[in-house]
Structure 1
């Protein structure tokens, strides 16, 4: 089997499909992972901030009698390290154990030793650095005494808290250089700002959770890429294999091997492409066979009259030219065969122009009914000579079409002439014309002849094809009449078809757009 050499390419369609599949997966996983991790980070940080707000409130209420705090409402959120509900309950119990013995004290009147001990106890329970500041921003108590700063008034968070606004931020403000969340909450006693609760909590838990999530996401992405790569490779193979077969078969067809067929394994686009390719090669084989038959038929049609002409000329050259009767008989033969050749060449020229859509149609308004009546009247003597009756059935009035009158007359002549040739003596050839009023004009030619065998009906209209070859040649036909009629009707945007049963005659119908 002939096939064009296929050079393997690094960028084959299989490779491109696989990498495009992986590219989609990578983009999708990257975007979804980035969005998911960003949302989770925001969620965890907000949960941590809510936790610090709750801690600051409970710390203020536990350490400072009559304390009220300013800040946002705390939304209960599930978190990776605590829940606010549990934390609030635990802090309340702890606050009861360390509450001051007397009420009505102001922040300045509180025992700093008591505040320091209480803050240290709460800080160890909460794992949060607690600082209590007075109304001037001076640090009164720091749960990490070794790192205590005397004044935090320059801290933007403290400045906002001293103005009565809650504030928070994330930075590496701790001396340990550990990323932490800081929160400053103003403390009010009887509506008067008395100090600030300043909490700092490391983000190690949130960072650890996010790091674990990133690791899991990277691992799942790698696994997804491996699986999708394998699946993409198999899918690309399922697509590329039929394309390779089609490419090889197309190369063979280009080399002249029209017997190529490719298997059809699916009903998708590739399956339809394979089926279309098989139909194309079948039509190419049929076209090549028609071409071979056409050349053979033309050669045969030309050989018969040329042989007759050559024989007549040789006879005349051998001395028959001196006998007037013999000479005239052979000259008539030469003239008749020459006319036959001229008709054949003209018919072939019409078909060639029709194939190339180069027919020069001189369209005008034509009364189709009148044209058919005149043509049938002209052919009536030919029908009478065979013992036939040629009958025309038309409706009242005219039936106008936009057509080339000479070409349509040629169609009617070919169809009626065929009907006369193939009808039995004593029969009737009927020509009907109807249509119009928004419907296509229709012409039907019906005979009462021998009909056409079912196996030949599909080939009627092919060039040089004759259902009854011997009889057609005896009548002087070339087998092009119906093919010419069909080509001329199609050139007028019409249709032509046959209906026939063997032994019961044939009905030929053609339609034209009405004017």
Structure 2
């Protein structure tokens, strides 16, 4: 008999049976679809870079460090302003205004500060500005920048100005009128005033206004306004931002490298698995004698890829087991059908040579018996072949197992009585509820009861009882007083087409599929079924059998 040709097709949403063979191969071929580029790798890298970008944008936009730097700069500026005020107060107390102005110039040269001196009426009497005149000191630039940092800073500065222009509030320029009001407020209250202003170009300026007087109190000689140079605070913020950008660049490179490494550990095994399935499927579809599909063994990986590899290997092994079982079943079916066909053919060929009516009637009886046997065999084979799909399609529901067994015993009592056999039961008083296919399990127990009846003699008793094994398992036991089963055939009785019937029973009345179907139904429910001989306690396998016992164990 020619072995069936089979193949494995990988499902794809765009797969269509109407496509040409080349189109199908393109859908299933990894390199034809993706080449050397991996969409999964691109996704991993993109997601990681987007996450880093969001993190960087959040850090730069919130600028939590900027407020801290401004506070630190304000405190430092206040200390400098207090020191300058005390020195100027000492000079003004002695009436030496020129020495006081020299002190302001020294502060401007050493600290790069803009200092304005006011008299007690709030009028400006001296202005020292480091950015005015020939001796102006260059504003801080923050040092040499790399091209990457320069580009990123420029982008951020443009975005900052855009948000600053569209947003409301924020720092504004320190106009002379505003400075005059703050000076008068400081003189009248002898208080320290702090201001955060901005130039028209957007550079931040921190200012401190305080009265000029001796350290231990005394008269007020005026007020001073000490300001940072425009861009001084921004240079500190820019320096911190450059550090963040440098760390971001390093994190980006590291993220890309780790993403590629992660993608390689995921994509490569997935590619190997898909290519193995694809090569095996396309090769087996073309060859007359197909080879087994070898799925790579990655079960040593402690992750989902290893689990997928193990699952695919188990699935492939189960597929080949099913194929081999189907081949074996087909061979067994051919053998079982051949026997009655041979008998039927012999009877038909002998019919022309029959001389008497008795011979013809005998041959017609053989023909009818063989036809009935074929009909019964084909029916059982059809039921067995449909069983898998029905077990998967039908929905399991809870039912009372004890009530089911009671109904089956009542239904088969007439059959047993015709052979002089009594059916006895032993169930628990309370309902025994399990979840399953009630009709299919009824088929199992009917088969066991009718088999027990057929092997029993007049006066025998068949006992059907249940046992609860804890809270999760239950056993149904069917015992007869027949001849038992040869010990070497206790497992064979569940094989397809195995048939060992009583001597008094006509040959061919059973197909040998009943117990095989029963095992299939029980295993589909997650249970077990086995057979054993009943012997006296301690007799061992050498003792005479007192009957057969079939045990069905099911989950509750």
TM-score scaled to structure 1, two decimals?
0.70
Q: Do 2:498 and 2:513's aligned partners in 1 also have CA atoms closer than 8 Å?
A: no
Q: CA deviation at 1:24?
A: 3.1
Q: Indicate conservation of the 8 Å contact 2:453/2:462, yes or no.
A: no
Q: Assess if the C-alpha contact under 8 Å between 2:428 and 2:466 holds in 1.
A: no
Q: Cα gap change, 1:275/1:145 in structure 2, threshold over 3 Å: closer, same or farther?
A: closer
**Cα displacement string for residues 367-396 of structure 1 (whole angstroms, at most 9, x for unaligned residues):** 6335326526624666x8xxxx87634359
Contact 1:173 1:180 (C-alpha < 8 Å) held by counterparts: no
Q: Is the 8 A contact 2:86 2:213 kept in 1?
A: no
2:141 is matched with none
Cα drift, residue 275 of structure 1: 0.3
Shift of 1:420: 6.7
| Residue number in structure 2 paired with 1:369 | 406
Query: Shift in Å at residue 306 of structure 1?
Result: 2.0
Residue 399 of structure 1 deviates from its aligned partner by 7.4
Would you say the 8 A contact 1:364–1:405 is kept in 2?
yes
Specify the structure having the higher radius of gyration (Cα): 1
2:522–2:529 CA contact under 8 A, matched in 1 = no
**1:220-250 CA distances to partner (integer Å, 9 max, x unpaired)?**
3323322332222122111111101111123
Residue in structure 2 matched with residue 42 of structure 1 by the alignment? 67
In structure 2, the residue matched to 1:297 is: 332
Matches of 1:466 and 1:226, distance apart in 2 = 69
Task: Report the alpha carbon displacement of residue 213 of structure 1 after superposing the two structures with TM.
Answer: 3.6
Deviation of residue 139 (structure 1)?
0.8
Cα deviation, residue 279, structure 1:
0.5
Which of 188, 202, 219 is the aligned partner of 2:246? 219
CA change 1:364–1:314 in 2 (3 A) is farther
Deviation at residue 14 of structure 1 after TM alignment: 2.8
Asked if the contact 1:169/1:183 (under 8 Å) is kept, the reply is no
> What is the match of residue 485 of structure 2?
449
Q: What is the distance in 2 between the residues matched to 1:401 and 1:122? A: 96
8 A Cα contact 1:170 1:180, kept in partner: yes
Which of 37, 47, 50 is residue 20 of structure 1 equivalent to?
A: 47
1:452–1:467 CA contact under 8 A, matched in 2 = no
For 2:447, what is the secondary structure of its paired residue?
helix
Alignment of 1:116-127 (within 5 A): 116-127=101-112
User: Where does 1:464-503 land on structure 2 (aligned, <5 Å)?
Assistant: 464=496, 466=498, 477-486=510-519, 495=527, 497-500=529-532
How is 1:88-487 mapped onto 2 (pairs within 5 angstroms)?
99=91, 102=94, 110-144=95-129, 154-164=176-186, 166-172=193-199, 180-186=205-211, 195-202=222-229, 206-252=233-279, 254-255=281-282, 256=284, 258-264=292-298, 265-316=300-351, 318-320=352-354, 322-357=355-390, 368-369=405-406, 371-372=408-409, 375=412, 378-379=415-416, 392-395=424-427, 410-419=443-452, 430-434=462-466, 443-446=476-479, 448-451=484-487, 457=491, 461=494, 464=496, 466=498, 477-486=510-519
Name the CA shift for 1:496/1:335 in 2 (closer, same or farther; >3 Å): farther
Gaps of 5+ in 2: 1-6, 9-24, 134-173, 285-290, 534-540
**Which digits, 9 at most, give the CA deviation of each residue in 1:427-459, with x for residues without a partner?**
9774323369x9998532236321356xx84x8
Q: d(CA) in 2 for partners of 1:135 and 1:141?
A: 13
* Local SS of the residue matching 2:253: helix
8 Å CA contact 1:305, 1:340 repeated in 2: yes
TM-score, normalised via structure 2 length: 0.66
Displacement of 1:413 after TM fit? 4.2
3-state SS of paired residue (1:449): coil
Unaligned runs of 5+ in 1: 66-98, 103-109
Q: Note the C-alpha offset of 1:345.
A: 2.6
C-alpha contact 1:441 1:512 (8 A) present in aligned 2:
yes
